[in-house]
Chain A
Amino acid sequence: MTSHSLGRFLDQYRGAGSFLSVCLLLILVMFGLPLFVSTFGLLQVTILAVMSIFALSQGFVWGFAGIMSFGQAGFLGLGAYAYAVAVINYGDSTLAVPISIILSMLFAAVMGYFMFYGRISDAYVGVITLTVSVILFQLINSTSGSQYRIGVVELGGFNGIPAIPPLNLIGDPSRPLDQTGIWYATMGGLLLVYGLLRFILMSRFGRVVVAIRENETRAQLIGYDPRLFKLLAFVTGAGIAGLAGCLYVNWAGYISPGVFALTMSAQAIIFVLVGGLGTLLGPILGAVLIQWLINTIGDQGAVDPGLGLGIILVAFVLLFPKGIVPLVRAAIQQVLTWRKRNVGSPLLADADPLQSGAE
């Protein structure tokens, strides 16, 4: 084995190792937690998992594709409303789930085509996504008359849609999931999304997406059409947000235009920023950490959660713009390199993990 192929082997091995350990951890939590936690406790952690999926959508779009979406909540909301409308109309969640994902993706495709094929610069993409999510919020918020209905479902405007049935076993509406079932479904969704994103990032498509983030001009000069790749990445992210929306409704049993609000988009951005831009584990950790923090601050009532969130956001931008996971990873790497130097193995020095997607 030559030194460089060993290096490559180690790259892949380490990538796969961390991937497997994260999966294992998620599976452990998924099946372990219901043994110890009450139904209400499960309800509390289910929202953390939902937010993790939402954070992964933002993490992929922003961290890997370099698209600054300030309106990711728009897709969360579309997915949520699509699920609610579909599941009540069909009386069965089997089709409602794909509908919620696909609707978000279609909307993102139209919006993405509009933005990326119009040579709109990065900051303006932020503006447009933000504006569109505000438009969605205002529109849905003003649909409270009984004339605004899709099938049998009144959109309800500010009121939202109450009493939305949860997921049922595929094809069998007579067997809805209970709280524990929804927990499994949500964690299953999280695992699926995590695995899917890891797969995408390993694939050529994912590598090109990352390359375009790194240097759009170079990618173009090589022959890749950045508009297409950005569009596809944006649509993928929207689909994931749509799934998160669908699971969010399952968690809450109720949906209101609040899901479209700017604070939701802001939260996703904070999750990613705190956890680590350009990683997959980061957004998950960020979501769990920050959501838990919001709940805790919100509960004690003396200080508005916004104050804490704002300070965290500014502090991370100024002090740790890369977020927790890369920070920890760099620290670990430093220790490893130091040890290696002492042991004197030159082979491993080149074996940086793939910068793009490994944790």
Chain B
Amino acid sequence: MSDHNQKLFGRRTVLKFSATAAISALAAPAYLRQALASETIKLGCIMDETGPLSLEGKPMAQTTKLAVDELNAAGGLLGRQIEMISYDTQSTMQLYTQYAQRLALQDKVDVVHGGLTSASREAIRPIFGRARIPYFYNTLYEGGVCDRNTFCTGTTPAQTVNHLVEHGLKNWGKKTYVLAADYNFGQITTDWVRKFMAAGGGSVVGADFFPLDATNFSSTISRIQSAAPDFVVTVLVGGAQTGFYQQWESAGMKSKIPLASNVFGLSNEINSMPTSTTDGIVTCYGWYPGIDTPASKSFVEKMEKQFGSDLTGMSELDVTTYDGIMFWAQAVKKAGSLDREAVLAALESGLSYDGPGGAVSLDPATHHTIRSTYLGQPKDRKWQVMETFAHQIPSDSGGQCDLKANPRLNKQFTPVI
């Protein structure tokens, strides 16, 4: 608890400075500000710690804090302490660009970890690109981003959605229905489902997209029933959309049509909802809290020790955040400097380490991670791992993204159907 307070205090002092920037910046000569800046290494964190996305965002910010504390406890990097400068974007898109500009122009940070939704990533990615600050997006997403300045440590559809679809085709049937959040993540992931279904000889019989504040799913539940799929894939994001699962159950659909999801469980659903709602929904992630390895267990222990009752549910998102920071730290050590080119070169040198989710390596060509993924389902508020897939390649760009060979590439590859 005291750690948390300290963090808040630290953030506030930083912000107090920035809030009065217009005035105080007048007074402080430029060289003085530069001098202050060089004492610590600055790690920028930009995350939705409050608001409807906070169930995902807050643990990620906590993990960032944990990782930075660990690094500092081990002596910091290059003999300097790491200062975490954190902004809460309050689940509001406008604040992303505002705070990203603040990180880039005022705080002049050395690296940024953060961004939760794909929308937020696309909003801030160009800002850090222009400011030449390496950017880590540590959230599982729709895949395909190919940008020399950006590193994505979360899992992608080529590592998870394909397994969900295979599972469905094998166990349930050839027809599926997709429910997705109405933004690029939901749209592109749905295209992936279409592609994988077609490849496996099945089809998507319907897809509905919802704004993030959608709460009433009754008309969709009717539509699903009239389309009669063999299973439903949900790509629903945020607190409001989790209401679907309860409406699904109370409409009596739970026992009729099985659900698969690559998002369910990321916002602590297995603890906040009745087990009758959650049990049996099949998911696929790069990590589950129940994974029985020493690294995984110690990660959970460390988090629980540091944040106690303030910690609400853990997921792959936290592990990939941790991975992102560790890769960056490894690269800084290897480069021996914070110079962007040196750090990028080190990041592209084929780094790997054993994280809570197992062995992970950073793919130099795509700037994504090669890692194990797992199929799992909730049972009595615990995750049951059903299957393990080792060494999953982030092949979402179909081999077209090779940043080693073509560093000027900057686009997002999407599935071709």
* Selected interface stretch from A10-18, A138-146, A193-201, A342-350: A138-146
Closest B residue to A47 by beta carbon equals B98
Q: What range describes how many residues of B lie at the interface?
A: 35 or more
Interface residues of B in 1-55 (CB under 8 A from A): 8, 11-12, 15-16, 18-19, 21-22, 25-26, 30, 50
Q: With the chains together, A141 CA to B414 CA distance in Å?
A: 21
Which A residue's beta carbon lies closest to that of B23? A41
Q: A40-B25, A145-B187, A258-B92 are in contact. Are A159 and B97 (CB under 8 A)?
A: no
With A142-B209, A158-B183 given, is the CB distance from A41 to B25 under 8 Å?
yes
**Residue ID in chain A nearest B28 by CB atoms:** A38
Residues of chain A contacted by B94 (CB below 8 angstroms)? 252, 256, 258
Give min CB distance, A178 to chain B, whole Å.
11
A37 and B15 form a contact (CB under 8 A): no
Contacts of B11 in A (CB 8 A): 301
Chain A nearest Cβ from B357, distance in angstroms: 28
- Chain B binder among A64-72, A180-188, A292-300: A292-300
Residues of B within 8 A of A (CB): 8, 11-12, 15-16, 18-19, 21-22, 25-26, 30, 50, 88, 90, 92-95, 97-98, 101-102, 105-106, 118-119, 122-123, 125-127, 181-184, 186-187, 209, 211-212, 414
Residues of B within 8 A of A39 (CB): 105
For residues 96 through 147 of chain A, which have their beta carbon under 8 Å from a beta carbon of chain B? 138, 141-142, 144-146
Closest Cβ of chain A: how far from B164's Cβ, in Å? 22
Task: List the B side residues contacting A45 at CB < 8 Å.
Answer: 22
The answer on a CB contact under 8 Å between A44 and B184 is no
Known: A37-B26, A253-B126. A157 touches B183 (CB 8 A): yes
Return chain B residues, CB-CB under 8 Å to A38: 21, 25, 30, 105-106
Are the CB atoms of B19 and A296 closer together than 8 Å?
A: yes
B25 contacts A144, C-beta separation under 8 Å? no
Residues of chain A with a CB closer than 8 A to B26's CB: 36-37, 41
A43 and B101 form a contact (CB under 8 A): yes
Q: Does A74 contact B (CB under 8 A)?
A: no
Is A229 an interface position by the 8 A CB rule?
Answer: no
Find out whether the CB atom of A144 lies under 8 angstroms from the CB atom of B97: no
Binding site for B on A (CB under 8 A): 36-41, 43-45, 138, 141-142, 144-146, 156-160, 162-163, 252-254, 256, 258, 295-296, 298-301
With A158-B211, A252-B94, A256-B119 already in contact, the answer to whether A41 and B183 are too (CB < 8 A) is no
Q: List B contacts of A252 (CB < 8 A).
A: 94, 97-98
Across-interface contacts of A160 in B (CB, < 8 A): 93, 119, 123
8 nearest CB pairs, A to B? A158-B183, A40-B106, A159-B119, A40-B105, A163-B126, A36-B26, A299-B15, A41-B25
Bound complex: CA of A231 vs CA of B347, how far in Å?
60
CB <8 Å contact, B101 and A40: yes
Residues of B within 8 Å of A41, CB to CB, are: 21-22, 25-26
A279 to B123, CA, bound (A): 37
The answer on a CB contact under 8 Å between A162 and B125 is yes
27 contacts between A and B (CB under 8 A): A37-B22, A38-B21, A38-B25, A40-B25, A40-B101, A40-B106, A41-B21, A44-B22, A138-B211, A142-B209, A144-B183, A144-B186, A144-B187, A162-B125, A163-B126, A253-B126, A253-B127, A254-B123, A256-B123, A258-B93, A258-B94, A298-B90, A299-B15, A299-B18, A301-B11, A301-B12, A301-B88
**How many residue pairs, one in A and one in B, have C-beta atoms under 8 Å apart?**
103
Q: A38-B106, A296-B19 known; 20 other A-B pairs, CB under 8 Å? A: A37-B25, A37-B26, A41-B25, A141-B182, A144-B183, A144-B184, A145-B187, A145-B209, A146-B414, A252-B94, A252-B97, A252-B98, A253-B126, A253-B127, A254-B126, A256-B119, A258-B93, A295-B19, A301-B12, A301-B50
Q: Which of B18, B187, B209 gathers the greatest number of chain A CB atoms within 10 Å?
A: B187
Q: Are the CB atoms of A300 and B119 closer together than 8 Å? A: no
Contact B182 A158 (CB under 8 A): yes
**Residue of B with least CB distance to A296:** B19
Complex alpha-carbon distance, A138 and B210, angstroms:
11
User: Are A144's CB and B209's CB within 8 A?
Assistant: yes
Residues of A close to B182: CB separation below 8 A: 141-142, 144, 157-158
Distance of A44 from chain B, by nearest CB (Å) = 5
Minimal Cβ-Cβ distance residue in A for B191: A146
In the assembled complex, the Cα of A38 lies from the Cα of B31 at a distance in Å of 12
Task: Report Cα–Cα, A280/B93, bound state, in Å.
Answer: 31
**B98 cross-chain contacts in A, Cβ below 8 A:** 252
Please tell me if the beta carbons of B119 and A43 are within 8 angstroms of each other in the complex: no
Separation in Å of the A273 CB from the closest CB of chain B? 22
Q: How far is the CA of A157 from the CA of B186 in the complex (A)?
A: 11
Among B22, B30, B92, B118, residue most surrounded by chain A Cβ atoms (within 10 Å): B22
Contacts of B125 in A (CB 8 A): 162
Whole-angstrom CA separation of A163 from B26 in the bound complex:
29
CA distance A44 to B8 in the complex (A): 23
CB atoms of B21 and A40 under 8 A apart: yes
Minimum distance in angstroms from A72 CB to a CB of chain B: 17
Instruction: State whether A43 touches B105 (Cβ < 8 A).
Output: yes
Chain B residues in 8 Å Cβ range of A142 = 182, 209, 211
Q: Are A159's CB and B126's CB within 8 A?
A: no
Q: Is the CB of B123 within 8 A of A158?
A: no
- Rounded to whole Å, the gap between the CB of A309 and the closest CB of chain B is 14
Bound-state CA distance A34–B276 (Å) is 61
Q: Kindly provide the distance from the CB of A124 to the nearest chain B CB, expressed in whole angstroms.
A: 26
Cβ contact within 8 Å between A299 and B19: yes
Complex Cα distance, B187 from A146, in Å, reads: 9
Question: Which residue of chain A is the closest to B123 with respect to CB atoms?
Answer: A254
Q: Please report the C-alpha to C-alpha distance between residue A162 and residue B50 in the assembled complex, in whole angstroms.
A: 23
- Find the B residue at minimum CB distance from A300: B12
Residue of A nearest to B108 (CB): A40
* Complex CA distance for A39 and B104, rounded to whole angstroms: 11
Please give, as numbers and ranges, the residues of chain B lying within 8 Å of A37 by CB-CB distance. Answer: 22, 25-26
| Residue contact B119 to A40, C-beta cutoff 8 Å | no
Is the Cβ of A156 less than 8 Å from the Cβ of B123? no
Interfacial chain A residues near B30, Cβ < 8 Å = 38
- Residues from chain A with a CB closer than 8 A to the CB of B21 are 38, 40-41, 44
State the Cβ distance, A180 to closest chain B Cβ, in Å. 12
A138 and chain B: residue at smallest CB distance = B211
